[in-house]
Amino acid sequence: MEIVAIHQEITAIEVDAIVRPAAVNGATLLGPSSQLLANGGPALVAVLHSGLALSLGGAVLTAGGALRCRYLIHVATVSDSNQQPSLDALKKATLAALKCAEDSRFRSLAFPNMGFHHDSGPRARAARAIVMILKGFDPVFLNRVLLVDPDVEMIKHYEAAIDALSD
């Protein structure tokens, strides 16, 4: 499976599905999650306001609304929308998204920044944790995963993790 870090807004990406980080009650988190909601159109807003119930580290598949992707994979990375995810929750959510994409026979999947927006130490550890889960996943259908962020520093963290964990 190809893993590529891309410096771009998540809403500009064309893939089968985009991962949407959320709280367990489906609440929108700041950053990419709110961008997806803002660009997803009324159908997506209706789905999200109907009340998604997620388990921490779990995933739920919905239509992508007006986004360029056909589907969203909603993953719970935090219990409360004011929290920063733990590395354990991040790993579980990443694996849940991969399994959901594989079960749906998707070929491409995009991950936005899943909650680490400020301090470079946690961001580097988050990038490494995500890439470690990606590298350990052995898909049949999924052949391309994009790690997408408009922040150049986060892209550098993803690229460093990809390089460090290359086979």
| Predicted confidence pLDDT, tens digits, the chain (167 residues) | 999 999 999 888 999 999 998 888 776 666 666 778 777 888 777 776 677 778 887 899 998 988 889 999 999 888 877 777 889 999 999 999 999 999 999 999 999 988 766 555 688 899 999 999 999 999 999 999 999 999 999 999 999 999 998 86
**Does the domain spanning 2-164 belong to CATH 1.10.8.640?**
no
Q: What is the pTM of this model?
A: 0.91
Which residue type is seen at 49? H
User: What is the DSSP-derived secondary structure letter of residue 150?
Assistant: S
Give the CB-side neighbour count of residue 69, counting CA atoms within 13 A: 30
Which residue type is seen at 153? E
pLDDT of residue 67: 86
Residues in the chain: 167
In the chain, where are the structural domains located?
Answer: 2-164
Instruction: Answer whether 127's CB lies under 8 Å from 165's CB.
Output: no
Distance of CA 39 to the CA centre of its chain: 16
pLDDT of residue 30: 60
Which residue type is seen at 138? D
Which residue type is seen at 40? G
pLDDT of residue 119: 57
